[in-house]
Structure 1
Amino acid sequence: MQRFGDRLKAARAAKGLSQRALGVKAGVSGTSIKYWEDGTTDPENIRNAALQAAADALGVTVAYLKTGRDAPRRVGPASSRHIVKDDARLISVISYVQAGEWLKISDPANLDGLRPLVIGGGLAERLSETAFALEIEGEAMLDEFRQGDIVIVDPGIAPLPGDFVVAKLDNDTRAIFLKYRPRGVDQANHPVFELVPLNEDFEIIRVSTDNPGRVIGTMMEHRRHRRR
Structure 2
Amino acid sequence: MKRFGDRLKAARAASGLSQRALGVKAGVTGTSIKYWEDGTTDPENIRNAALQAAADALGVTVAYLKTGKGSGGYAGPAASRHAVKDETRLIPILSHAQAGEWPRGQGSSKYDGLRPLVIGGELAERLSQFAFALEIQDEAMLSEFRPGDIVIVDPSTPPLPGDFVVAKLDSDTSAIFLKYRPRGIDPTNQPVFELAPLNEDFDIIRVSADNPGRVIGTMMEHRRHRRR
Is the Cα–Cα contact under 8 Å of residues 168 and 176 in structure 1 kept in the other structure?
A: yes
Two-structure CA RMSD over aligned residues (Å): 3.4
Structure 1 residue aligned with 2:70, among 75, 82, 89?
75
Classify the secondary structure of the residue corresponding to 1:57.
helix
Give the TM-score of the pair, scaled to structure 2: 0.74
- Whether the 8 Å contact between 1:134 and 1:150 is mirrored in structure 2 is yes
How far off is 1:106 after superposition?
4.7
Question: How far did 1:38 drift?
Answer: 7.5
Superimposed CA distance per residue, residues 204-223 of structure 1 (whole angstroms, 9 cap, x where no aligned partner) = 11111111111111000111
One-letter code aligned to 1:15: S
Q: 1:175 to 1:47 in 2, by over 3 A?
A: farther
Q: What TM-score do the two structures reach when normalised by structure 1? A: 0.74
After TM superposition, give the deviation of residue 193 of structure 1 in Å: 0.8
Partner of 1:93: 93
User: 1:60 and 1:197, CA in 2 relative to 1: closer, same or farther beyond 3 A?
Assistant: same
For 2:34 and 2:70, how far apart are their aligned partners in 1? Answer: 28
Gaps of 5+ in 2: 73-81
* Residue pair 1:136, 1:149 contacting (<8 A) in 2 also: yes
Alignment of 1:1-228 (within 5 A): 11-17=11-17, 22-27=22-27, 32-33=29-30, 35-36=31-32, 48=47, 49-50=49-50, 53-58=53-58, 59=60, 73=68, 75=70, 86=83, 87=86, 88-104=88-104, 106=106, 108-228=108-228
Structure 2 CA distance for partners of 1:207 and 1:53, relative to 1, 3 Å: same
CA displacement, residues 112-169 of structure 1 (integer Å, 9 cap, x when unaligned) = 4422222221111101111111111111001111111111111110000000000111
Cα–Cα, structure 1 residues 98 and 51, in superposed 2: closer, same or farther, change >3 Å? farther
Rounded Cα–Cα distance in structure 2 between residues aligned with 1:5 and 1:155: 35
The answer to whether the 8 A contact 1:100-1:168 is kept is yes
Task: Tell me the matched-pair count.
Answer: 205
Deviates more, 1:9-18 or 1:94-103: 9-18
Runs of 4+ in 1 over 6 A off after TM superposition: 4-9
Cα distance in structure 2, aligned partners of 1:188 and 1:9: 56
